[in-house]
Structure 1
Amino acid sequence: MSIDRSRIRVKAMLIAVNGDATAHAVSLNAPTEENPDGYHRLIGGSVELGETHRTAIAREVDEELSAKIHELRHLGTIENIFRIDGEVGHEIVFVYAGRLDPEPAPEGATLTESDGSIVPVVWRPLDDDDAEELPLYPAGVMELLGAG
């Protein structure tokens, strides 16, 4: 299923912190022209017409991970303009922090995208200080948590 990138999209995404607050769950996405080794992206997705961003993040986490969010708090909003395989994308992203219940497994966890594709979920250190080789999107998001 192709994504229409001709319009600005509204998203809700989660910095999903683990129990000991050392890492957060992210999707591990396939290589692109811009990121030949792949990239990490926060958990979450599009806000649907008539839905608040707070409702959207709860729905997305339930749909993708069959999980609930505890200690949910809104951190801020990021405007994300990016390229994926040479195509421009533009998103307004409402960023939240919270804890997943249940948490994804330390290894072998996955999420299910709206098109049915299965994407690996990994734990990315909160204090990676650029030690992590894969970029995290949306760019600049960790500054909202105070960890970047």
Structure 2
Amino acid sequence: MAITGPVPSENARRRNADTFEAPPVVGQPAPELTGDQLTRLRPASRDWWAALRAGPAAHTYASTDWEVAKAALVCHDMRERAKADAALWVKLDARMERYESRLSFTHVDRLKGRVGASAGPRPEVPTEAPRGADMDAELYRLLSGG
């Protein structure tokens, strides 16, 4: 096994102070699509646009992000129309995955980008187990026949 450098110190710490402060994120409101633009879209594409506009990362989008989102909307609509052509659909689907990743569309993408989303107060977690929580013993009893 090759050693590529010195053994890390047990008291490792950063010696350089952070020299920047992250500016507050000020997003732009989502652009409205006109009636003509909406009527040309497939229903699945309209639903995708509505989900993107209502998503937890949408409040952080700048105007350039919304332009990328519009390009993604066109790509999504083309993908919906290309379901008969499998090769084209696969290419468009790969493109959509990249667009959605850039726009922090999924929870995993937001975790990777460290985008915080505050969706309101957290739900209360029950402190005691609900009735019938010991399902393993009951399942074992049912499966073993006794």
Q: What TM-score, normalized to structure 2? A: 0.24
Name the one with the larger helix percent: 2
Q: What TM-score, normalized to structure 1? A: 0.24
- The structure whose Rg is larger is 2
Name the one with the larger strand percent: 1
